[in-house]
Amino acid sequence: MEFDTIAAISTPLGEGAIAIVRVSGDNAIETVNRVFKGKNLEQVPTHTIHYGHIMEPKTGRIIEEVMVSVLRAPKTFTREDIVEVNCHGGLVSVNKVLQLILSEGVRLAEPGEFTKRAFLNGRIDLSQAEAVMDLIRAKTDRAMNVAINQMEGRLSKLIQRLRQDLLETLAHVEVNIDYPEYDDVEEMTHSILIEKATQVREEIRKLLETAQQGKILREGIATAIIGRPNVGKSSLLNSLAQEKKAIVTDIAGTTRDVIEEYVNVRGIPLRLIDTAGIRETEDIVEKIGVERSKEMLQQADLVLLVLNYNESLTEGDENLFKAVEGKDYIVIVNKTDLNQNIEMDRVRELAGNAKIITTALIEEKGVNELEAAIAELFFEGSIESTDMTYISNARHIGLLVQAEKTIHEAIEAVQSGMPIDMVQIDLTRTWEILGEITGDTVHESLIDQLFSQFCLGK
């Protein structure tokens, strides 16, 4: 497959030590060589790096001092010739280098086009390509490990094995259709169909069992911190984030807006949302914050409901318990370093089966117990990401749900005595759905849509 030559800046824009302009395609080496003053890049060995300058070909004016990497096909990310120009990481310098290369007949790459070429040239499949973006966006070590496992093809190999099992089963179905006069062939085919289809269904169900945990590792848990003003919500955000992100004072209504922060709790990424204290107020700005807090509460996967150990329960506190009904939530009774005025029996009655953690956040007491409670609530206390294939991508989850449905229908069809050719339709559809995960049976429009979500230069 032949493509034109593309280029893009592959490092984040802004000031930094180094910025990289990546060029990929049949003319990559020849093009960069025209603007490079140093060794002849067309004659250097592959996978080598060379010092020199980028200059304007017509005037000979030096633009940048650079190190240039030359990587020859097929042992490259895109399986095409690649040149990476390492220049100083300033906005002006890197853009000048890119513009000069583009002026030599190279096209600016679309978002994700380098990874798309790796897929189209057969270096990686679609699930591995999607894992590249997951790796970039990983918020914790465990999320990174899940993405790396997928990049290395753990999911791909499992899906390919399931598709191969289905292919072999479909071959047996063909035998039955071609030789219907042999009763023993029909009986044997029915037996093999049920056995193989059941095995595939169970493997798909095992993958789907990891879906919730995998999705959490990929996207994080949307976690709302709620409570009346001045109970310690911002202190909790700061304790979990291990730095001062929110202003903490004794004045009620200090937090007037929603503050978001990603934190790592025992390998679980929390998208932590510190909300304005929910109370009746005449302050217009605070009132808007309170309304936004109520909206965020509805969107949250987990709610941390904070109460004050030093104050009696109020009607507002009791209303918060009603607001979180039906959600996963943990009750945090804060300020245990002060005198007790809260009615703990009533708190336990309102909380029901929800976990109750006591804290003194100013003294950093109770934070470990809270982190353990969060891990237990979503992961039963542990995550075995190193030896499990986690499904974290919403597209993959949706396809596996469809595949589980169609293979289940195939099993039911065999058991109810449906004609074999009807069973074949369900098995073939399952095979096609699984192929959409790896990109073997996916439509071109979906491929374009997926790669358009990548960052430029990747």
Amino acid 423 reads V
* CB of 52 closer than 8 Å to CB of 68: yes
How confident is the model at residue 161, as a pLDDT?
A: 92
Q: What is the CA radius of gyration of the chain?
A: 29
Could you give the CA distance from residue 110 to residue 102 in angstroms, rounded to a whole number? Answer: 13
Distance of CA 141 to the CA centre of its chain: 13
Task: Kindly report the number of other CB atoms within 10 A of residue 2's CB atom.
Answer: 6
CATH 3.30.1360.120 domain residues, the chain = 6-109
Could you give the CA distance from residue 303 to residue 328 in angstroms, rounded to a whole number? Answer: 6
Could you give the CA distance from residue 76 to residue 22 in angstroms, rounded to a whole number? Answer: 12
Residues 6+ apart with CB under 8 A from 163: 431, 434, 435, 440
Could you give the CA distance from residue 244 to residue 249 in angstroms, rounded to a whole number? Answer: 12
Considering only CA atoms, which of 44, 86, 79, 48 is closest in space to residue 64? 86
Q: What is the 3-state secondary structure (H, E, C) of the chain?
A: CCCCCEEEECCCCCCEEEEEEEEECCCHHHHHHHCEECCCCCCCCCCEEEEEEEECCCCCCEEEEEEEEEECCCCCCCCCCEEEEEEEECHHHHHHHHHHHHCCCCEECCCCHHHHHHHHCCCCCHHHHHHHHHHHHCCCHHHHHHHHHHHCCHHHHHHHHHHHHHHHHHHHHHHHHHCCCCHHHHHHHHHHHHHHHHHHHHHHHHHHHCHHHHHHHHHCEEEEEECCCCCCHHHHHHHHHCCCCCCCCCCCCCCCCCEEEEEEECCEEEEEEECCCCCCCCCHHHHHHHHHHHHHHHHCCEEEEEEECCCCCCHHHHHHHHHCCCCEEEEEEECCCCCCCCCHHHHHHHHCCCEEEECEHHHCECHHHHHHHHHHHHHCCCCCCCCCCCCCCHHHHHHHHHHHHHHHHHHHHHHCCCCHHHHHHHHHHHHHHHHHHHCCCCCHHHHHHHHHCCCCCC
- CA dihedral sign, ordered 135, 139, 144, 147: negative
What is the CATH number that goes with domain 6-109?
A: 3.30.1360.120
CATH 3.40.50.300 domain residues, the chain = 221-379
How distant, in Å, are the alpha carbons of 35, 329, 343, 360 from that of 227? 62, 12, 16, 16
How confident is the model at residue 279, as a pLDDT?
A: 43
0.85 exceeded by pTM: no
Angle at 298 between CA 297 and CA 303, to 5 degrees: 45
Q: 221-379, what's its fold?
A: Rossmann fold (3.40.50)
Considering only CA atoms, which of 88, 105, 91, 135 is closest in space to residue 23? 105
How confident is the model at residue 223, as a pLDDT?
A: 86
Task: Kindly report the number of other CB atoms within 10 A of residue 325's CB atom.
Answer: 8
Amino acid 419 reads P
How distant, in Å, are the alpha carbons of 158, 198, 224, 360 from that of 310? 55, 58, 23, 11
- Average pLDDT across each block of 10 residues of the chain; the chain has 458 residues. List them in order: 86 85 96 95 96 92 95 95 93 91 93 89 85 71 71 85 88 65 58 87 88 71 83 81 46 43 76 57 44 68 89 86 86 91 92 91 87 79 52 83 93 84 87 90 73 73
CATH 1.20.120.430 domain residues, the chain = 128-210+391-452
Angle, helices 126-137 vs 444-452, to 10°: value is: 10
Residue 312 corresponds to which tokens in the numbers above? 């009696």
Which architecture does CATH list for 128-210+391-452?
Up-down Bundle (1.20)
Considering only CA atoms, which of 287, 305, 422 is closest in space to residue 359? 305
How confident is the model at residue 258, as a pLDDT?
A: 46
Could you give the CA distance from residue 411 to residue 106 in angstroms, rounded to a whole number? Answer: 54
